[in-house]
Structure 1
Amino acid sequence: MLSRSHIDTVVRAALDEDAPWGDLTSETLIPVDAAATAELRAREAGVFSGGEVFEAAFALTDPRIVVALRLGDGDRFAAGDTLATVTGPARGVLQAERIGLNFTQRMSGITTLTAAYVAAVAGTGARIADTRKTTPGLRRFERHAVRSGGGHNHRFSLSDAVMAKDNHLAVLVARHGSITAALEAARAALPHTTHLEVEIDRLDQLDAVLAAGTGPRGVGTIMLDNFSLDDLRTGVAAIAGRTIVEASGGVSLDTVAAIAATGVDVISVGALTHSARALDLGLDVRVEA
């Protein structure tokens, strides 16, 4: 998910945004030969993510800065734990501080929230997945964070799979006359390697979707969107293992265990990325003259 070249591209853009003509404060107040030591500390418990990104913020600012990570992505920590140490020229450490923190606080927040969802459905067989409700430009970072928390990724982009939602079906039905005919035409036009997912929001749509066939030569996933628990159970029973069943809509930490208990295979949760709170981490810096 994360390559070094992609990390460098995104982090460099953030650094350029934050200090387009240098760090005026540090260049004015901090001696050019001053050295600094800093510790990345947790102010609350959580699950870590973004170590490589944090490291890149300092390395791209000044390659003489050394970052020593004490945790790997996906590792848990307690409040007060030291997560990394940073040593090097003080001006560079101070300039990169906020960008490094911004990324790892955001990513660790997503990872911590994802881990809570995964724990809530433990033992059910349901998979927690993210959605495309990510911050523009940061999708790879945020989806890496989901994986660090034990979650899974949905399709990465619109280019990766066919996912027929309500508006797509409305257009197709107008042309083909029925959901079944529309899906059969779509499947016939697709390569056998392309996954087809169909979203429905009412039980009375299910038979028409199943009639188009399931599995590699038909519908690979059926998403039951905003279904009640009773309707989820009914839908799972009707599908009877013929294809992947995904639940979405109205998912929270309070509801996810009950949704998983209906027997669905995947629960997609937009909140993992669009509503995760940045974790409270701090960088305590000591500057030596």
Structure 2
Amino acid sequence: MSQASQKAAKAPTNELWDTIVVVVEALLIAIVLRSFLFQPFSIPTASMQQTLMIGDYFVANKFVWGYGKHSFSLGRYGNFTLLDFELPITGRIFGREPNRGDVAVFRPVPQTIEYIKRVVGLPGDKIQMKEGRLYINGTMVERTEVGKSTDTDSEGDTRDVTVYTETFPEGTTHTIQEISDDGPLDNTQEYVVPAGHYFMMGDNRDRSADSRVLASVGFVPATNLVAKAEARFFSITNNIPPWQIWQWPANVRWDRMFQSVYNQPPRVTK
């Protein structure tokens, strides 16, 4: 075989190998980014509406609070987990502590899946609900009624809600919803947040299983924090899978895309 023929025969093989190398490198970069920096999540339930609606997709910052034992889960797809292992650490390495008002992805102690709620109580805080009002360290948190709206949960149950802006002692504000002020979790005991733990609550106060339910969520250890929610990048109604592109025109919420999950205006219908 001539030298020219040998080169021609080797060329396809070299191109295939180069392609494989590029694909592997891209996958490794994606895994590193997802493991250490940013990870996408979706919202399947109503507990954080209006801040995060069912069908919202958002990116979360994995390095701002440092890394805990659950930081390197790469996500679940149905019954399949891409990667999920616990680091042999009891605290957190690097990063800062969460601020009150941050929206957190975390693992409740008894659970094996991620939850997302707002950080309401810091270590040492006293948290209580009285007649639908949140008290932090004995002081009622300011809230202002904005208007009325409706809320639909993941089962399709629609309820009338009152929309408020709530202002934490530090001055940060966010939107909450209440069906009423006399629901099952609107009058609680006083919770004292242990050292190294946080108290989480959903913005959809009457449709959130959160730290108020000690048996299923309770106080969240710092080591169980996964990431801080930052910005929505996609949103579609009715939990329609994003790959069903033919359903986008009628169902994509274009006004919720590429927006921060913080400082967004409340949505009212009346």
TM-score range, shorter chain: under 0.3
Higher helix proportion, which one?
Answer: 1
Q: Calculate the TM-score normalised by the size of structure 2.
A: 0.22
Q: Calculate the TM-score normalised by the size of structure 1.
A: 0.21
